[in-house]
Amino acid sequence: MHAQKIAAALTAAALCLSAMTAQRPLSERVTVSAESIADIPQEYRTACDWIWQNRIEPEGSCKGWSTIYDQILAGNGTLNYILIWQSYEPLTLAQRQKLPQMLESVVNKWNDCLVGYDSWPVEHVNVKVIGYAVLDKSVLQDLQPDETVFTETATPWTRDWLISSGMGNSSIPEMQPAEPTALSRYVHWNDKNWSYNGNYDNRFDMYLHGIHGMIDMGGVGYHYGQILSDHSIEGLLNGTTSEHILLHEVGHGFGYPDYYGAEGASDGFPPGGFPGGQGSIMMAGSCSYINTFDKYFARYTWSKIKDEAGRFNLSAYSPVTTQPPVTETTTTTATAPRETAETAFTDSVSEVQLTWNGGEIRFAEHGSFSFSGDAYYGGDDTKNLSYYEQGDRVRIRFTYDVQSREILQIAELELEQNAHVLRGDVDQNGAFELNDIVLVQRWLLAEQNTVLADWQAGDFNSDGRLNAADLTLMKRALIN
């Protein structure tokens, strides 16, 4: 079955572990108008207040002056990374050259939330990779004279934990490359006189750590950096893997929490849910992009920390470099007008073939159509064809290009029948019973060793994810 229908395996961990749906990148251009906390719409402000008081302050995730807010401003608009490569998979020169660009794209999706808000001075964050920590130098193919390589090793602090949690297997290398702590701002952020080899520009702010044998749909993030599987990082560099897991983990670097628990719980989300109805990219399985709520919360957090005594000196901010202007040459050519049509039907899915920017879906009675991206117009995941699989029966209404049969916009899309026939039987024992509800509740609370044999059986509202709404529907169905 397609991984795109997986909601997410929620696993609680002290290091902000998250396992999220393996989707391709989702982008949403949302303008949020607020110049200070006072301008944030009340429903968003109320949710932000709750998170700050019940999650951020008790957990202390913004107390250390090493968040990405701090890193960006200390670096005058720059972030320096190293790549820790706990893998023997080769990295080509072309892949390494794409690494700063890939990281810069992700970081600036968060920075774009802050531009123009409450004295945030950074228009664009410039990312530089200052070196590579590797187990074997030969994995860096076509190594260039100006590339810095660190070859010392250390006992891995993540290996046993990843294996025991189900986030990895025994193929994880038994040693890991040692990060150059003398260059780490995270280690020395509170020592204003640390030399960083004589020059602050030689520091690294965070690392991106690739681990062979880690599951491809998992990640870890905090102020010190992000951890993904080596295959996920290769996919990001090759343009075949979604950046939403990395976006989530970078969010932890800004200090934003996971929302593993129930509504109003100490590890959960605000009473009444997230305004806007889109969840949060920090709540695994609820959203795959930085949505309107996330943008307001990024701004809210900046306002809460920016006036801490001694933390920031905005008057001294002086960007080292600026984003180069983009020059485009447009050639106008005459094109035939596009002929579009609207259709609506209920049909079974015969096949879904996915590509990096969309895919093709074939219906049993109505033939094939192509589609672009992962969501349509506003990031509406309920209209995401990449979630569906062979055997699903859907009711759909959409507009398409007659000549190319490309779907342009989906007006309605509902799952009439899931390919998994017995609803509620998440433990696959052949019956829908109380134990299934208990299992789902434990899974949503991320209780250790809770496994669902078939999570799709619990997707009662057929939105391609498993959450508290499905649990409520399961309870009602069993009572009835």
Per-residue pLDDT of 15-42, as tens digits, reads 334 333 333 333 344 455 568 899 999 9
pLDDT at 445: 82
pLDDT at 411: 80
pTM of the model: 0.65
Domain spans in the chain, listed from the N-terminal domain onward: 3-316, 340-417, 434-479
Provide the residue count of the chain. 480
pLDDT at 306: 95
Q: Of the ranges 1-10, 19-28, 302-311, 359-368, which is most confident?
A: 302-311
pLDDT at 35: 81
370-398, pLDDT tens digit by residue? 887 543 333 455 577 877 788 888 899 88
Could you tell me which CATH number the domain at 340-417 has? 2.40.50.140
> Residue 475 corresponds to which tokens in the numbers above?
């309870």
Q: Which residues pair with 376 in a beta bridge?
A: 380
Domains 340-417 and 434-479 fall in the same CATH topology: no
Q: Residue 50: which residues within 8 A CB-CB, separation 6 or more?
A: 270, 271
Using 50, 70 and 90 to split pLDDT, how confident is the model at 86?
Answer: very high
With contact defined as beta carbons under 8 Å apart, do 410 and 376 qualify? yes
Q: Residue 226: which residues within 8 A CB-CB, separation 6 or more?
A: 206, 207, 208, 209, 219, 220, 246, 249, 250, 252, 253
pLDDT at 30: 46
pLDDT at 331: 43
Q: How many CB atoms lie within 10 A of CB 299?
A: 25
- End-to-end alpha-carbon separation of the chain, Å? 30
Summarize the confidence of residues 430-437 as an average pLDDT: 85
pLDDT at 89: 96
Q: Position 75: which residue type?
A: G
Which DSSP string do the residues of 417-433 spell out, in sequence order? E-SS-STT-TT-SSS--
For domain 434-479, the CATH class is: mainly alpha
pLDDT at 373: 56
Torsion-angle region of 76 (φ positive above 0: left; ψ -120 to 50: alpha; else: beta)? left
Summarize the confidence of residues 259-279 as an average pLDDT: 91
